[in-house]
Amino acid sequence: MNYKKIILKKDKETSIERFHPWIFSGAIKYGVDDLLEGEIVEIYSCRNEFLGTGFYSSGGSISVRIFSFEKEDINQDFWNRKIQSAYEYRKNIGIIGNPKTNAFRLCHAEGDGIPGLVIDMYAGNAVIQSYVLGIDNVKNEIVLALKETFGNDLKSVYYKSDKVLKDSVNGYLYQNGDIENIVLENGNKFYIDWEKGQKTGFFIDQRENRNILTKYCKDKKVLNTFCYTGGFSVYATNNGAKEVHSVDASQKAIDLTDKNIELNNATDIHKSFCSDTFDFFKNSTEEYDIIILDPPAFAKHLSARHSAIMGYKRLNATAMKKIKKGGILFTFSCSQVVDKYTFVNTITSSAIETGRKVRIMEHLNQPADHPVNIFHPQGEYLKGLVLYVD
């Protein structure tokens, strides 16, 4: 197939030769005048050397997201191989075929060499989320690739990108029999609403961090803030916690949390509160042995980085003031523009402000089914700490 060419300016090919998948608009010499949004293009150096193939985008600073560094036809066989490769990786790390877990990420964008594409699997149901129009253009090929890889084990494919792509429509692209919305994660049961829930319906990236909580929660009083579907709350109630409180500003999130608590037969030790977390801390007289801080991204762009850091500092200082002596604090940031070193320094500032003695017990991050491409360090977005607060 013949693809249109984009030619880079002199000396702008270095990062591509190191397999970084992004082409910034300032690196382009010419070739974009007649391109369509989401079109597949080939990238060449100023010396007419082939560098890669990717999706073109006119919006934002990233003009091309490369999905292949080899000169090849981008056909159905190509997408079959991409999805099969992602599948084999998950099989090799033990997440596919795990009898206690049937919810996992199958494709993690740049981490799996397909920028703009996220696929989460829920008990055989694939939920696709697209972040670039190029993926929207090949969604039918992705569905065929999923059917080729999973066969009859694929129950449905739901496409969800309307909030990202203006003209995209959410809905099922494939269905094979009855759909099961209840999944297992490390033996814990969760109801997943991928049609109306945030992202693909569940934050799979906290799976291993939720499991770490089970080491510490026995006979403890636990507070889970920004609880969303109650992931940490369910793990605590199922693993010996004395009492668990869940807080979220969204009533829909609280309803999902209550539904998951009931699904796990733990209503007797759980209580939920629909409240802003800062207001809850201000008004509550409760004392907790363990507090979980898992807020949404405080900054999605570099311009908001400073205000995000101040937000994390304030939130963690507030929790440190409220937690019992000898308490354990789980704290996270999913803001990509706040790196792990900045995050640790921010939490250190919170400890200094409160005057509490704080020790780092564990460093936390995203699980192996959310891999970081070594050539694309920006993919490391989730960072966390387990802290002992004297």
* Number of domains the chain is built from: 3
CATH code of the domain in which 42 resides: 2.30.130.10
Whole-number Cα distances in Å, 237 to 30, 95, 102, 284, 389: 59, 24, 20, 21, 22
246 and 307, same domain (yes or no): yes
* Domain assignment of residue 198, yes or no: no
Domain that holds residue 89: 76-183
Residue at 363 is within a domain:
yes
Whether residue 127 is contained in a domain is answered as yes
Q: Are residues 207 and 316 in the same domain?
A: yes
Q: For residues 297 and 334, what is the distance between their CA atoms, to the nearest angstrom?
A: 5
How many angstroms separate the first and last alpha carbons of the chain?
Answer: 65
Please report, for the domain that includes residue 266, its CATH number.
Answer: 3.40.50.150
Residue 111: closest CA among 78, 86, 83 = 86
Q: 381 and 282: one domain?
A: yes
Q: Which helix (H) or strand (E) holds 88?
A: helix 76-92
CATH code of 138's domain: 3.30.750.80
Does 197 map to a domain? Answer: no
Per-residue pLDDT of the chain (390 residues; tens, 9 = 90+): 789 999 999 999 999 999 999 999 999 999 988 999 999 999 999 999 999 999 999 988 999 999 999 999 999 999 999 999 999 999 999 999 999 999 999 999 999 999 999 999 999 999 999 999 999 999 999 999 999 999 999 999 999 987 678 778 899 999 998 898 999 999 999 999 999 999 999 999 999 999 999 999 999 999 999 999 999 999 999 999 999 999 999 999 999 999 999 999 999 999 999 999 999 999 999 999 999 999 988 766 767 788 889 999 999 999 999 999 999 999 999 988 889 999 999 999 999 999 999 999 999 999 999 999 999 999 999 999 999 999
For 213-266, the pLDDT digits (tens) are 999 999 999 999 999 999 999 999 999 999 999 999 999 999 999 999 999 999
Q: Please, what is the angle between helix 305-322 and helix 340-354, to 10°? A: 40
168 and 254 in a single domain? The answer is no
